[in-house]
């Protein structure tokens, strides 16, 4: 897939995600309106849409806040800065993305932002200490590829919208419990209530499925274009191997932001890891990604 095709596909997917979000919110309102009261539906609708709008415009900052990432200057992280600057030039970006640092010993990195002009690259202290210059450049190239082909917009928006849906369904779930005790026996259509409950349960699942569908294949694509950008697939492969062997868990991690990172931050969290054998993973196994790089570059890691 060429870069232009990728960008176009991402634009369409972004539109679908936003549309899907509006439909979900509308469905929530309808459910609430039917099973409780129309007034409450209005409140939920306004909260949902308003929160969605704010998230759309502030998504980058929100993700940074949630991940505890702070903007830093060249002097704070010279190696990272140099890598970002070099790879941006190789990618022909109009602007060098700012860098954010996460004060955490775990090794991970991500890119976020709504447009290439507002995107930034965040890395943990741990990854800068763990990787050498070549490997860090590979990781940065992976993130810059996400920025260049508009993955980050889709992924950042998806992560905040998934957050909104989770919030709403949580709210509804609680309301269902409370009103279930209060309004039993009144002239209410039980079918709608059941329907509503099913939807409330399904919404977060569908949201997280969506989030994964967005992310898994594009990790391979970003790896491939990163190798092209640096001309050094081995550097990235070595970085991935080091990430694979490093098991320090990231402190601030949520399901909503997991898919943004270069490797799944949930991997080292026993509590957050799903037991459904790969179905709910946000990332393909690092082994597979390393193998893909080895095949394309014609080398083998020792």
Partner 1 sequence: MHTALLIALAVVVVLLVWFVLTFNRLVRLRNECAQGFSGIDVQLKRRADLIPNLVESVKAYATHERETFERLAEARARSIAAVTVGQAAAAAVLMQSALGGLFGIAEAYPELRASENFQRLQTELSETEDRIAAARRYYNTTVRRYNTMIQSVPSNFVASIGHHEPREFFEIEDAGDRAVPSASIT
Task: Report the interface residues with partner 1, using CB under 8 A.
Answer: 78-79, 82, 85-87, 89-92, 132-133, 228-229, 231
132 vs 288 by CB, closer to partner 1: 132
Neighbours of 20 (CB within 10 A): 16
Which lies closer to partner 1 via its Cβ, residue 214 or residue 227?
227
| In the complex, minimum distance from the CB of residue 4 to partner 1, in angstroms, rounded to a whole number | 8
Give whichever of 63 and 239 is closer to partner 1, judged by the CB atom. 239
Q: List, as one string, the DSSP characters of the chain.
A: --HHHHHHHHHHHHHHHHHHHHHHHHHHHHHHHHHT-HHHHHHHHHHHHHHHHHHHHHHHHHHHHHHT-EEE-TTT-HHHHHHHHHHHHHHT-SSPPPEEEE--SS--EEEE-SSTTT-EEEEEHHHHHHS-HHHHHHHHHHHHHHHHTTHHHHHHHHHHHHHHHHHHHHHHHHHHHHHHHHSTTSS--HHHHHHHHHHHHHHHHHHHHHHHHHHHHHHHHHHHHHHHHHT-HHHHHHHHHHHHH--PPPSS--TTTGGGBSS-TTTT-TTTS-SSTTTT-SS--HHHHHHHHHHHHT----
Smaller CB distance to partner 1: residue 79 or 268? 79
Comparing CA positions, the residue from 216, 242, 220, 231 lying closest to residue 301 is 242
Q: Whole-number minimum distance, CB 91 to partner 1, in Å?
A: 7
Closer CB to partner 1, 12 or 213, in the complex: 12
CB of 89 to partner 1, least distance (A): 4
Task: For the CB of residue 90, give the shortest distance to partner 1 in the complex, in Å.
Answer: 4
Pick 14 or 86: Cβ nearer partner 1: 86
- Rg of the chain, C-alpha, whole Å: 21
For the chain, the farthest-separated pair of C-alpha atoms sits apart, in whole angstroms, at 71
234 given a catalytic annotation: no
We find the least distance from the C-beta atom of residue 84 to partner 1, in angstroms, to be 11
Residue of 5, 79, 135, 143 marked catalytic: 143
Interatomic CA distance for residues 82 and 98, integer angstroms: 11
**Distance of closest approach, residue 239 Cβ to partner 1, in angstroms:** 15
Edge to edge, what strands does the sheet with 99-102 contain? Answer: 70-72, 99-102, 120-124, 109-112
Catalytic residues: 143
């Amino acid at each position: 897939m060429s870069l232009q095709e990728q960008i176009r596909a991402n634009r369409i997917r972004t539109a679908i995600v936003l549309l899907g979000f509006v439909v979900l919110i509308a469905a929530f309102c309808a459910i609430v309106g039917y099973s409780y009261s129309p007034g409450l539906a209005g409140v939920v609708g306004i909260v949902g849409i308003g929160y969605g709008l704010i998230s759309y415009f502030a998504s980058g900052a929100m993700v940074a806040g949630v991940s505890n990432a702070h903007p830093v200057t060249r002097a704070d992280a010279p190696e990272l800065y140099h890598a970002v600057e070099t790879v941006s030039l190789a990618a022909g970006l109009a602007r060098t993305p700012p860098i954010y640092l996460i004060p955490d010993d775990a090794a991970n990195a991500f890119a976020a932002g709504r447009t290439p002009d507002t995107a930034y690259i965040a890395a943990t202290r741990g990854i800068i200490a763990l990787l050498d210059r070549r490997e860090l450049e590979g990781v940065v190239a992976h993130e810059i590829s996400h920025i260049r082909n508009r993955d980050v917009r889709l992924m950042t928006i998806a992560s905040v919208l998934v957050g909104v849906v989770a919030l709403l369904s949580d709210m509804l779930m609680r309301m269902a419990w409370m009103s279930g005790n209060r309004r039993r026996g009144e002239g209410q259509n039980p079918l709608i209530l059941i329907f509503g409950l099913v939807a409330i349960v399904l919404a977060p699942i569908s949201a997280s499925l969506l989030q994964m569908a967005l992310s898994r294949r594009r990790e391979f694509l970003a790896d491939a274009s990163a190798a092209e950008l640096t001309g050094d697939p081995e550097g990235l492969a070595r970085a991935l191997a080091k990430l694979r062997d490093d098991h320090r868990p990231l402190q601030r991690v949520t399901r909503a932001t997991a898919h943004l990172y270069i490797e799944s931050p949930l991997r080292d969290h026993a509590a957050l890891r799903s037991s459904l054998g790969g179905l709910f993973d946000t990332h393909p196994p690092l082994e597979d990604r390393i193998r893909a790089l080895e095949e394309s570059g014609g080398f083998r890691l020792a």
